[in-house]
Homo-oligomer: A and B are copies of this chain.
Amino acid sequence: MTSAIEGQARPIRLADIAKAAGVSHGTASNVFSRPEVVRQEVRERVKAVAEAMGYAGPDPKGRLLRAGKVNAIGVGTTEPLSYFFEDPFARVMMAGISEACDATGAGIALVSAANQEKLAWNIQSALVDGFILFCIEGGSRLVELTRERRLPFVALELGFHDETISAIGVDNIAGGRLAARHLAELGHRRFAVLSLTLGEDRTGFVTPEMVRSAVYTGTRDRLAGYFEELSRFGIDTAKIPVYETENEEKSTRAGLEAIFAKGEPPTAILTMSDRMALIAIEWLTGRGVKVPQDVSIVGFDGVPDGALCTPPLTTIAQPITEIGRRAARMILDHDGTVRRETMGVELIVRASTGPVRKG
């Protein structure tokens, strides 16, 4: 058997099989990809030769180039890869994307990189038919890099003034209003806001001008929603402390400390993510502050974890899975048009909010 020796040397190509079986490459190719057009006798002979020579089947690398389509969608983020498996929001979103991909048989390629150079390279060399972008912080760079690939892509956030890119997001103003109204109706009058960032690389208390010139319009809109609704209840929104923070533990805690270091503590906190809300609950509980008896907290997102924590979280739920499904379908049935979809949100009342304490 020479096959073993040759097999070691160099992978066998379709052309090798064709030659060995005495047929043209065209026929050899057909044996694998369109067997019905090949005469049975020939088909079996070629297959036997392939088997004997240890042929691994048509190499997708070659097929791909010819076909043009990869049949996979890339999901990009500037977070490390593990983000997709650890972050609750990302996981629910990915489940939605998975569903759409499963239905059409498309694959998923995860694209990410901590440092900027690798990110660029990873986006440039990803073998995909389109991208879905998780735009958290640093999103605009991700968008720019992806735009250069000239493949269809969808941003999972409407927080971009740029109307030329496809995006799916939620009605942030409505969400903000729902949250604020809920608390106001429970009698709360002293608020604080734990906000997501308004632009790149800054945390700390926010001034009204900063809000007006916000780069991330998603954050700005939620704030707008909060303020609009609270004004209706006669609350002076200018006095509400708004602390902008990253969506992680350290800076969220810093925000809480800053807020509670100020004069009169709030009886209700509006947070812009469930993650922050959960961190806040833990922080407060750890200091003996009771949620919701002393302080009510509303989250934003509606991740499953919110239902399981103690106390279960009142939150503004996004249709995360549905957003994922739609994003994937936008790429899979891409028709060249720019689409911007706004999804509705829903107030889910659980136990992290309650009536303001009398007296």
| Contacts from A to B (Cβ < 8 Å) | 11, 54, 56-58, 60-65, 68, 70-72, 80-82, 84-86, 90-92, 94-95, 98-99, 101-102, 105, 107-114, 118, 121-122, 124-127, 148-151, 308
Q: Is the CB of A56 within 8 A of B112?
A: no
Residue of A64, A71, A92, A149 ringed by the most chain B CB atoms within 10 A: A64
* A107 CB contacts on chain B under 8 angstroms: 109-111, 122, 126
Q: Please report the C-alpha to C-alpha distance between residue A102 and residue B115 in the assembled complex, in whole angstroms.
A: 10
Residue of A57, A85, A90, A99 ringed by the most chain B CB atoms within 10 A: A85
How many identical chains are in the complex?
2
Q: Taking the nearest CB of chain B, how far is it from the CB of A64, in angstroms?
A: 6
Contact residue among B94, B105, B124, B125 (Cβ-Cβ distance under 8 Å from A85): B94
Q: Is the CB of B125 within 8 A of A63?
A: yes
Q: Is the CB of B61 within 8 A of A127?
A: yes
**5 cross-chain CB contacts under 8 A:** A56-B148, A61-B65, A72-B109, A82-B94, A127-B127
Contact A70-B80, Cβ < 8 Å, known A91-B85, A94-B85: no
Contact A60-B125, Cβ < 8 Å, known A107-B111, A108-B81: yes
Q: Please report the C-alpha to C-alpha distance between residue A56 and residue B111 in the assembled complex, in whole angstroms.
A: 18
Contact residue among B11, B58, B124 (Cβ-Cβ distance under 8 Å from A60): B124
Q: Is the CB of A95 within 8 A of B105?
A: no
Contact A84-B82, Cβ < 8 Å, known A60-B125, A118-B105: no
Nearest to A98 among chain B residues (CB) is B81
Q: Is the CB of A105 within 8 A of B110?
A: no
Q: Please report the C-alpha to C-alpha distance between residue A204 and residue B342 in the assembled complex, in whole angstroms.
A: 49
* A121 CB contacts on chain B under 8 angstroms: 105
Contact residue among B90, B105, B125 (Cβ-Cβ distance under 8 Å from A71): B125
* A56 CB contacts on chain B under 8 angstroms: 148-151
Contact A98-B118, Cβ < 8 Å, known A62-B65, A125-B63: no
Q: Is the CB of B71 within 8 A of A150?
A: no
Q: Taking the nearest CB of chain B, how far is it from the CB of A136, in angstroms?
A: 17
* A118 CB contacts on chain B under 8 angstroms: 105
Q: Is the CB of B102 within 8 A of A95?
A: no
Q: Is the CB of A86 within 8 A of B81?
A: no
Q: Is the CB of A85 within 8 A of B82?
A: no
Q: Is the CB of A70 within 8 A of B110?
A: no
